[in-house]
């Protein structure tokens, strides 16, 4: 079956020292969860430090975004081959904050997804609706559109080497989690959309839930048939809380 994944998106947070403490604590604690893929995604400048801090352990390292290009005159960007050189295996693409605040539209997200894989990274593709879209009854249409934009550009087989994260925008950082039933319904439609093109890709695709996941609600969410773990923001900044979420994904508590 699908190996659960718990990914920490540290966003724009942390000093060198706080990130050192956090990454060492996660690396130590994650040793207990051999059956969960634990991923941490610091800001670019901390990636080298974190790679050293988690070296030799099982924690995976990712970035929060990636350039569409591999190299050249693209001031401020960081490319997939550069991230791989520093020990990254994964990268988040299409996070709702990138989509809303930095203009990453579906075409940009698809290009970043392709650039990530071209450079040797596993993309963690975020999809999710705003509150307005949910209230208008458009949740499924939005999520399927975001997903199809990538499938159309990269091909469905590309999902064999990717992770999808369903993150309702209204649940991110708000303390309002989607109910397990609400989340499961969207996860199921993600999997069915993929299954409509290729059943075996759909079967092995990991779909994470993100949006105000905490230790206290993780277990119920992860118990849903199509929820394969979580993408964690705020709660990933505290190692104890994050490790409890990993424990829930391992089915331990």
Residue 8 in contact with residue 213, Cβ under 8 Å?
A: no
| Span 224-243, contacts to ligand PGA by CB under 6 A | 231-235
Question: What tokens were used for 217?
Answer: 């609600």
Between 9 and 189, name the residue whose CB sits nearer to ligand PGA.
9
Measured at the alpha carbon of residue 24, what is the angle toward residues 220 and 87, in degrees to the nearest 5? 95
- In the chain, DSSP finds a helix count (H) and a strand count (E) of 11, 8
Q: Which of 4, 94, 128, 210 is the binder for ligand PGA (CB under 6 A)?
A: 210
Q: Which residues contact 67 (CB under 8 A, 6 or more apart)?
A: 74, 77, 78, 79, 80, 112, 115
For residue 167, indicate whether it is catalytic.
yes
Identify which range of 49-57, 68-76, 102-110, 167-175 contacts ligand PGA by CB under 6 A: 167-175
**Residue 213 binds ligand PGA (CB under 6 A):** yes
Which residues are within 8 A (CB) of 219 and not within 5 positions of it... i.e. 6 or more apart? 248, 253
Nearer to ligand PGA, 93 or 156 (CB): 93
Using DSSP bridges, classify how beta strands 122-127 and 60-63 pair: parallel, antiparallel or unpaired: unpaired
Tell which one of 40, 78, 116, 172 touches ligand PGA (CB under 6 A). 172
- Does 94 engage in binding with ligand PGA (CB under 6 A)? no
Q: Interface with ligand PGA includes 48 (CB under 6 A)? A: no
Q: Which is catalytic among the residues 95, 133, 140, 187?
A: 95
Q: How far is the CB of 97 from ligand PGA (least distance, A)?
A: 7
Active site residues: 95, 167
């Amino acid at each position: 079956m699908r190996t659960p994944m718990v990914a920490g998106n540290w966003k724009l947070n942390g000093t060198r020292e706080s990130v050192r403490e956090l990454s060492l604590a996660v690396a130590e604690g994650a040793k207990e969860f051999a059956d969960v893929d634990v991923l941490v995604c610091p800001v670019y400048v901390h990636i080298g430090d974190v790679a050293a801090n988690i070296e030799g352990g099982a924690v995976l390292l990712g970035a929060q975004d990636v350039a569409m290009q591999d190299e050249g005159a693209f001031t401020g960007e960081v490319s997939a081959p550069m991230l791989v050189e520093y020990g990254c295996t994964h990268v988040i693409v299409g996070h709702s904050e990138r989509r809303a605040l930095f203009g990453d539209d579906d075409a940009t997200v698809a290009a970043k997804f392709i650039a990530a894989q071209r450079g040797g990274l596993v993309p963690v593709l975020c999809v999710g609706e705003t509150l307005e879209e949910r209230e208008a009854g458009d949740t499924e249409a939005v999520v399927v559109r975001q997903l199809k934009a990538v499938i159309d550009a990269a091909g469905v087989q590309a999902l064999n080497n990717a992770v999808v994260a369903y993150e309702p925008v209204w649940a991110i950082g708000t303390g309002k989690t989607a109910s397990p039933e609400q989340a499961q319904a969207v996860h199921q439609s993600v999997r069915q959309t993929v299954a409509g093109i290729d059943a075996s890709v759909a079967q092995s695709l990991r779909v994470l839930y993100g949006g105000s996941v905490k230790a206290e609600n993780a277990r119920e969410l992860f118990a849903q048939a199509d929820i394969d773990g979580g993408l964690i923001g705020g709660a990933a900044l505290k190692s104890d809380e994050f490790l409890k979420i990993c424990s829930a994904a391992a089915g331990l508590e």
